[in-house]
Amino acid sequence: MVTSVYDRVTAVRQQIDEAAVASGRSPGDVTLLAVSKTQPLEKIVKVVKTGLIYHLGENRVQELMEKVPNWPSDLSVHWHLIGQLQRNKARKALELAHCIQSVDSLRLAETLQRICEETDRQVSVLLEVNTSGEASKSGVAPQEAEGLIEAILTSCRTLSLQGLMTIGPLTEDQVQIGQAFESLRALSERLRSSTGLELPVLSMGMSDDYCLAIKEGSTMVRIGTAIFGAR
Ligand SMILES: *Cc1c(COP(=O)(O)O)cnc(C)c1O
């Protein structure tokens, strides 16, 4: 049986709502971001036309360059860069994305700050944290996050720091995955009290682990496969 895009998005949204309610939260607390990397524009348009998606995530600047200028102007969405950003692509990223979720160094933050100042632009950013400790993953080490935030607050005042992002560990072990998410939430609470920032966004949870992430406090899940099918 072929499942329609509408059915898949609705099913994911329903799972999100149920997971939120099960942990005593409101469904409206959890934003669904559809990860559209490698997907053709027509398919992404279909997903957004369900009326259930207002945020799209891409992990390469190159794909933002191909998609954003061709996006239908009557369909309003926010584009998020969720993959690693090289400083030489920062200017392009700032032209195309509303939010950069992968800030993990002061050098990158300062580059973004400088371009924002030059171009009179504002951007939301998340700090990517490597909660799993896996060498293959980008993100600042949890114990360095506070120092980095303080440095960003001091020298990058145009950047609107909205919260934290992480990618769960690559394992089937639910306990280990839950611990990584729990550690990001705990870190965000510590940073909130040490910096006085609101840090409302906790971007964690993908197709295989979003219900667990919501249980641990996620406010934004990034879902590709469960919406678009296998890449
Ligand atoms: C690809 C990707 C996702 C989505 O992964 P799925 O397992 O397809 O849901 C989420 N976050 C990041 C950073 C990604 O690169």
| Per-residue pLDDT, 40 | 96
* Nearest CA owner, ligand 1 atom 6: 224
Whether 44 has a pLDDT exceeding 80, the answer reads yes
Ligand 1 atom with least separation from CA of 210: 9
Cα maximum dimension of the chain: 55
Q: What is the pLDDT of residues 124-143, one digit of tens each?
A: 999 999 999 998 899 999 99
* Nearest CA owner, ligand 1 atom 4: 224
Q: Who contacts 26 (Cβ-Cβ below 8 Å, separation ≥6)?
A: 20
Average pLDDT over residues 6-31: 97
* Nearest CA owner, ligand 1 atom 7: 207
Q: Which residues pair with 165 in a beta bridge?
A: 128, 203
Which residues are near ligand 1 (CB < 6 Å)? Answer: 35, 37, 59, 82-83, 167, 206-208, 222-226
Centroid of ligand 1 to alpha carbon of 48 (angstroms): 17
| Per-residue pLDDT, 7 | 94
From 82, 204, 214, 228, give the residue whose CB has the most ligand 1 atoms within 8 Å, as the site to mutate. 82
Centroid of ligand 1 to alpha carbon of 147 (angstroms): 27
Centroid of ligand 1 to alpha carbon of 182 (angstroms): 19
Q: What is the pLDDT of residues 71-128, one digit of tens each?
A: 999 999 999 999 999 999 999 999 999 999 999 999 999 999 999 999 999 999 999 9
Q: What is the DSSP letter of 140?
A: B
Q: How far apart are CA 184 and CA 217, in angstroms?
A: 9
Q: How far apart are CA 25 and CA 15, in angstroms?
A: 13
The confidence band for 184, taking pLDDT boundaries of 50, 70 and 90, is: very high
% the chain with pLDDT above 70: 99
Centroid of ligand 1 to alpha carbon of 78 (angstroms): 17
Whether 50 has a pLDDT exceeding 80, the answer reads yes
Whether 1 has a pLDDT exceeding 70, the answer reads no
Centroid of ligand 1 to alpha carbon of 4 (angstroms): 21
pTM of the model: 0.97
Centroid of ligand 1 to alpha carbon of 196 (angstroms): 30
Whether 196 has a pLDDT exceeding 90, the answer reads yes
From 132, 206, 218, 227, give the residue whose CB has the most ligand 1 atoms within 8 Å, as the site to mutate. 206
The confidence band for 231, taking pLDDT boundaries of 50, 70 and 90, is: confident
Do residues 205 and 212 lie in contact, with contact meaning Cβ atoms separated by under 8 Å? yes
Centroid of ligand 1 to alpha carbon of 113 (angstroms): 27
Query: Which residue, 131, 144, 139, 151, is CA-closest to 195?
Result: 151
- The mean pLDDT of the chain is 96
